[in-house]
Amino acid sequence: MKGLLLSWQAWALLSAAFAALTAIFAKIGVEGVNPDFATFLRMLVVIAALSLILSATGQWQDPRGLSARSGVFLILSGLATGASWICCFRALRLGQAAQVAPIDKLSVLRVALFGVLFLGERLSGPNWLGVAMIAGGAVLLAWKG
């Protein structure tokens, strides 16, 4: 079991499972609630949960030990996360979860492109085919027909 928790694949599958629950719970929770306020409450829960995890595992770090580069990119990542959550909650307020979530997951396409362009990552032909299939599937799921 310990080896499984050291696998990026296991964590990625858990991330996908929790992301699915996030969309369903958010769709139900945002009914009759301002989407921005709902995002704020969600963020408070995340902060509380992570504070507990860091405390329980003794993993708190002094933020002054971060490099300037890491600090800037973590701040940018936090801003992007917040913007993504705000947009997702607004979309869920207006649309069906089964249509919003696949469009939200078009981020897979962007991550692949940005990984190649900015991080020097390389994808094989079958990898690109998978990215294209995810993009096509997202469009088909969002199609109102």
For 97-138, what is each residue's pLDDT tens digit? 988 988 998 999 999 999 999 999 999 999 999 999 999 998
Whether residues 38 and 90 fall in one domain: yes
Model pLDDT for residues 51-83, shown as the tens digit of each residue: 999 999 999 999 999 999 999 999 999 999 999
Structurally, the chain folds into a number of domains equal to 2
Domain of residue 42: give its range.
9-96
Residues 6+ apart with CB under 8 A from 113: none
Both 22 and 60 in a single domain?
yes
pLDDT of residue 92: 92
Q: Which residue has the tokens 């921005």?
A: 36
What is the reported pTM?
A: 0.81
137 within 8 A of 99, measured Cβ to Cβ: no
